[in-house]
Amino acid sequence: MEKQDIGIIDFADGLPLQSGILKVPENLDVLAGWLSKREHRIRVDEQDFPIVNNKEKLSLIHVTASPKKDETRCDAFNRELGSLPISIWNNSSHLTLYVSASSDLKMDEMEVLCKYLNLKKSDADIKWGLGIDKTLGNLISLVIVYSNKK
């Protein structure tokens, strides 16, 4: 398999915390390990990244969404997704979303999120991961791994 660059960008409340470049496939375990150590404790491995077989750049964004007064968790989630760069939606063919909250997302919440993503990127290959992190309180943690066509 040919080496490819993976750009990692970690955002929390819009502030960049960490960045770096990894080589695939030699350092794919580093990316998987890094994701697994995040506060939402999501387990990932190489099979979670089918896009590394393509000649596409892989990027990662991490944001947290905090509901404002009279706002639901889904509204906060959609607000944060709406504030992400448009290039994520326009230039990506694969999206992998890891969602964490202090309690399980309800079916109606999942339906709202799925509808929103289908409107944004209905032709993308979207994979979901859900996790529980009691330390998040009222926050929702979003980790988006996406491929860049350009």
pLDDT tens readout for residues 15-74: 333 334 444 444 555 555 555 554 443 344 445 555 444 545 666 677 777 888 888 887
Total domain count, the chain: 1
pLDDT tens-digit map of 110-127 = 777 777 777 776 566 666
70, 43 contact by CB (below 8 A): no
Instruction: Print the domain residue range for 108.
Output: 4-148
- The CATH number given to whatever domain includes residue 48 is 3.30.1330.20
Q: What is the pTM of this model?
A: 0.55
C-alpha dist (Å) from residue 75 to 66, 87, 111, 138: 9, 22, 12, 13
